[in-house]
Amino acid sequence: MSAPTLHTADATAGAGTADTVEHARDAVARESWAEAYALLHAQDLHPTRALTATDLSALADAAWWSGHVDESVAARLRAHSAYVAADDHRGAGLEAWWLHYEYAGLGRPAAASGWLHRARHHLEGLPDCPEQCFLAWTDAEEALAHGDPAGALAASDRMTRLAVGSGSPDLLALSRQAASSTLLAQGRRAEALSLLDDAICAATAGELSGMVTGWLYCLALTQCMEAADFPRAVEWTNAAMEWCAPPWAGRPPEGHGEGDDEPVPAALPSGENPFRGVCRAHRVDVLDLLGSWALAEAEARQACREVPADCLESAAAAYYAAGDVQRRQGRLDAATVSYAHAHELGRIPQPGLALLRLAQGRTDAAVAGLRLALACAGDSRHDLLGRARLLGATTEVALAVGDVPGAAEAADELDTLAGDVPLLRAIADTARGAVALAGAETGTAPGTPAHERALPLLRQALAGWLELRVPYEAAQVRMLLAAADRAVGDEEAARLELAAARTVFERLGAVPDARRAAALLSGGKRRRLPGGLTAREAEVLRLVAGGGTNKDIAQALVISEHTVSRHLNNIFAKLGVGSRAAATAYAYAHGLV
C-alpha cells in the first residue's frame, strides 16, 4: 500500500514533457489513480523522459491503486535510489519505510526488516520531521506485539507530537489510531474509543487522503470487533462500505464547481477500491450478528474475490463467518468446507469448528479443539470478543458432555472478562444462566433451586441480546428460558418463549434449532406420554413423524446418530412396532404431533 505524499514535486524533467507531468500531478492530487497511472506509466516508458523521485513515488502510489502491485514496488525502489542520489534523507527514509511495509504485506519479512533498518538509518539522526511519524508508528505496533505497553505508549506519544508539529491531518488521524490501540491494550477503553472516534470522524468528513482513510477504516473495524464494541462496529462498517462503493473516483479538482466556465477533463475510471474486500470482510461479521445470514454469506463470497494478496487474513475471516452461517442453518458439509478454507489461509476455525463437531456428535473432537484454541489464544486484552466466544462455546460443549464443573469454570472466566461491555456481558450472562440451569452454583444463595438461579441471569441475557439486536443468540436464550419456566411449572411462559424462538429460527433458516423448538412446543401439549415413552424418546418420535432422518434428528437434538438409533430401538420396543412408518402412525394416533 502507499503512503500520503509529504514532499512537493521536483522540477520537471524537460519543457517538452511539462504538460503531461503536470496533468499527472493534478490527477495524483485528485486521487484519480487510473488517470495518473496511465500518464506517468507512459511518461516513464519514454527513453528520454526520466521521472523525478517524487514522480516515481507518485507512480508507485498510482500503480498500487490501479492493481499493479509489482510495478508499485519497482517504482518505489527507483524513487528511493533517486532520493539517495539527491542526498534527500527525508525522501529516502519515507520510501524505505514504505518498502518495509509493502514487503511485509507481500510475505517477505527479511526484505521488510532490511528496509525498516534503512528507514531508521535515513531518518533517526535528523531533526524532528513528519516522516519520523511512520517509524514511531512501527515502534508502537512492535511494542504492543511484544507485550510492552509502556514502550507502545511512549512511541504513540512521540508520533502524536510529530503529527501535531507537521500540521498534516493524515498523520494526526493515524497518531490518534495508534494511541487508541495502545490505550485499549492498557484497558483504558473509554479514552481509546474516544480517540478512535475522532480519527474516524476525520475520515468520514473527507478530510484525509484515500490511503489513510482506507487504513483507518480497516484498523478501526478490527479494533471495534476485538474490543466487542458492536454498536461502533455497525456504524463504522456502514461508513466504510459507503466510502468503498463504486464509482470510486477520488477527489474532485480543486477550484472547479458547477458554476465554472472551463470544462473539467473527464478522469479515467479509477477501478475498484483496493480496500473494499477488507472492509466487506468486516461487514460480514456485523451482518452475521444482526441475523442477515443470506446477505452475510453472499458478502463473504464477494470479499474472498476482492481482498488483495497481502490481506488474506480477511479472506480467512470471511470463510470462517460463512462457515458459522452454514453450521447454524444445518448445512454441515458446506460449513466443513468453509472452515477448511479458513484454516488453509491461516485462521484457527474455532469455536465454529468445535460447535460443528458437537452437532455431528463428535464430542471428543469438540472438547479437544476448544482446549487447543484457548491454549493458543494470546492475551485476552488484544481480542476480548475472540476469547469470549471461545469461552462461551466451551461452556456449551462442556454442558453437552456433562462436564458441569468445566462449564462453570469457563462461565466464571467469562464473567470476569465481560465487565460492563454489553456484547460481552450478554455472552457471559447466557453462559452463567445455562450453567445455573444445569445445577451449578453461580453466586446466589446456597440451596436455591437451579431454575430460580437461572431465570434472572437468562432474562438479563435476553435483554442484552435484544438491545444489541442480535436475534439468533436471543432465540437461543429463549430456549433456555423455556426450560427454566417449565421447571417452575409456568407452561404458558415456556410456550411463549419457544414460539418466539421458533419464529426467529425459521426466519434465519436455522433449521435444526427450528425443529428443536417445534418439538419442544409439541411436547408441552401432553404432560403424560403414552406407551411409557420418555420425554427424549417422544422428541425423537416427533422428528421421525416429521420425516427426519437419523442424521437430521441428531443435528436437531445435538446428539450422535448412534444415540438416535438407540432411542429408536427403545421406541419400537415400547410401542410394539417394527418400522418408522408404524411409529409415525402411532405418534399421530396418540396426539404426539
> How would residue 495 be classed by pLDDT, with cut points 50, 70 and 90?
very high
Q: Which of 168, 201, 225 is the last residue of a domain?
A: 225
What value, to the nearest 5°, has the Cα angle with vertex 126 and ends 120 and 127?
A: 135
> What value does the CA radius of gyration of the chain take, rounded to a whole number of Å?
29
Q: Grid coordinates in use for 89?
A: 534523507
Q: Given this model, what pLDDT does residue 267 score?
A: 30
> How would residue 256 be classed by pLDDT, with cut points 50, 70 and 90?
very low
Q: List the single range of 15-19, 360-364, 412-416, 550-554 with lowest mean pLDDT.
A: 15-19
What separation in angstroms does the CA of 455 have from each of 424, 433, 436, 458, 472? 19, 7, 9, 5, 19
Q: List the single range of 135-139, 210-214, 265-269, 307-311 with lowest mean pLDDT.
A: 265-269
Q: Which residues contact 478 (CB under 8 A, 6 or more apart)?
A: 462, 497, 498, 500, 501, 504
pTM over 0.85: no
* Residue from 183, 160, 115, 512 nearest 335 by CA: 512
What is the mean predicted confidence (pLDDT) over 376-386?
Answer: 76
What value, to the nearest 5°, has the Cα angle with vertex 311 and ends 205 and 241?
A: 30
What is the mean predicted confidence (pLDDT) over 545-573?
Answer: 86
What separation in angstroms does the CA of 508 have from each of 291, 303, 502, 505? 7, 22, 10, 5
Q: Given this model, what pLDDT does residue 344 score?
A: 95
Q: Given this model, what pLDDT does residue 17 score?
A: 59
Q: Given this model, what pLDDT does residue 11 score?
A: 39
**Residue 52, CB-side half-sphere exposure with 13 Å CA sphere:** 19
Task: Inform me whether the pLDDT recorded for 264 exceeds 60.
Answer: no
Inside any domain, residue 309: no
Task: Inform me whether the pLDDT recorded for 152 exceeds 90.
Answer: yes
Task: Inform me whether the pLDDT recorded for 45 exceeds 90.
Answer: no
Q: Given this model, what pLDDT does residue 496 score?
A: 95
Q: Given this model, what pLDDT does residue 309 score?
A: 74
* Residue from 403, 463, 409 nearest 431 by CA: 409
* Residue from 247, 352, 348, 342 nearest 304 by CA: 342
Residue with cell 470510486: 248
Q: Which residue has the higher pLDDT, 523 or 240?
A: 240
**How many domains does the chain fold into?**
2
Q: Given this model, what pLDDT does residue 12 score?
A: 38
Inside any domain, residue 176: yes
Task: Report whether 296 contacts 288 (CB < 8 A).
Answer: yes
Q: Give the number of other Cβ atoms within 10 Å of residue 162's Cβ.
A: 23
- Local structure of 5: helix, strand or coil: coil
The per-residue DSSP string of 235-274 comes to: HHHHHHHHHHSSP---PPPTT--TT-SSPPPPPPP----T
Kindly report, residue by residue over 429-447, the tens digit of the pLDDT. Answer: 999 999 998 876 555 445 5
Task: Report whether 52 contacts 7 (CB < 8 A).
Answer: no
Q: The CATH number of the domain where 559 resides is what?
A: 1.10.10.10
What is the mean predicted confidence (pLDDT) over 54-82?
Answer: 93
Task: Report whether 411 contacts 395 (CB < 8 A).
Answer: yes
Q: Which of 176, 194, 225 is the last residue of a domain?
A: 225
Inside any domain, residue 132: yes
Spatial separation of the C-alpha atoms in residues 121 and 138, rounded to whole Å: 15
> How would residue 14 be classed by pLDDT, with cut points 50, 70 and 90?
very low
Q: Given this model, what pLDDT does residue 580 score?
A: 87
Phi, psi of 445 (to 5 degrees): -60, 135
Phi, psi of 525 (to 5 degrees): -75, -30
Structural domain of 21: 15-225
Q: Given this model, what pLDDT does residue 53 score?
A: 95
> How would residue 448 be classed by pLDDT, with cut points 50, 70 and 90?
low
Phi, psi of 257 (to 5 degrees): -155, -175
Inside any domain, residue 325: no
Q: Which residue has the higher pLDDT, 450 or 128?
A: 128
> How would residue 266 be classed by pLDDT, with cut points 50, 70 and 90?
very low
> How would residue 180 be classed by pLDDT, with cut points 50, 70 and 90?
very high
Kindly report, residue by residue over 201-248, the tens digit of the pLDDT. Answer: 999 999 999 999 999 999 999 999 999 999 999 999 999 999 988 654
Q: Given this model, what pLDDT does residue 411 score?
A: 96
Q: Given this model, what pLDDT does residue 464 score?
A: 97
Portion of the chain with pLDDT greater than 70, in percent: 88
Q: The CATH number of the domain where 52 resides is what?
A: 1.25.40.10
State whether the Cα torsion 19-25-31-37 is positive or negative: positive
What is the mean predicted confidence (pLDDT) over 483-502?
Answer: 91
DSSP secondary structure code for residue 52 in this structure: P
478-493 core/surface letters (b: 16 or more CB in 10 A; e: else):
bbbbbbbbbbeebeeb
Inside any domain, residue 72: yes
Task: Inform me whether the pLDDT recorded for 534 exceeds 90.
Answer: no
Q: Given this model, what pLDDT does residue 446 score?
A: 53
Q: Which of 164, 194, 225 is the last residue of a domain?
A: 225
Q: Which residue has the higher pLDDT, 479 or 592?
A: 479
* Residue from 88, 142, 80 nearest 113 by CA: 142
> How would residue 265 be classed by pLDDT, with cut points 50, 70 and 90?
very low
What separation in angstroms does the CA of 386 have from each of 167, 195, 426? 37, 23, 14
Q: Given this model, what pLDDT does residue 240 score?
A: 95
Portion of the chain with pLDDT greater than 90, in percent: 62
What is the mean predicted confidence (pLDDT) over 546-562?
Answer: 84
Inside any domain, residue 212: yes
Exposed, middle or buried: residue 425 (CB in 10 Å: 0-12, 13-18, 19+)? Answer: buried
What is the mean predicted confidence (pLDDT) over 110-122?
Answer: 97
Query: Please, what is the average pLDDT of the chain?
Result: 87
Inside any domain, residue 106: yes
> How would residue 557 be classed by pLDDT, with cut points 50, 70 and 90?
confident
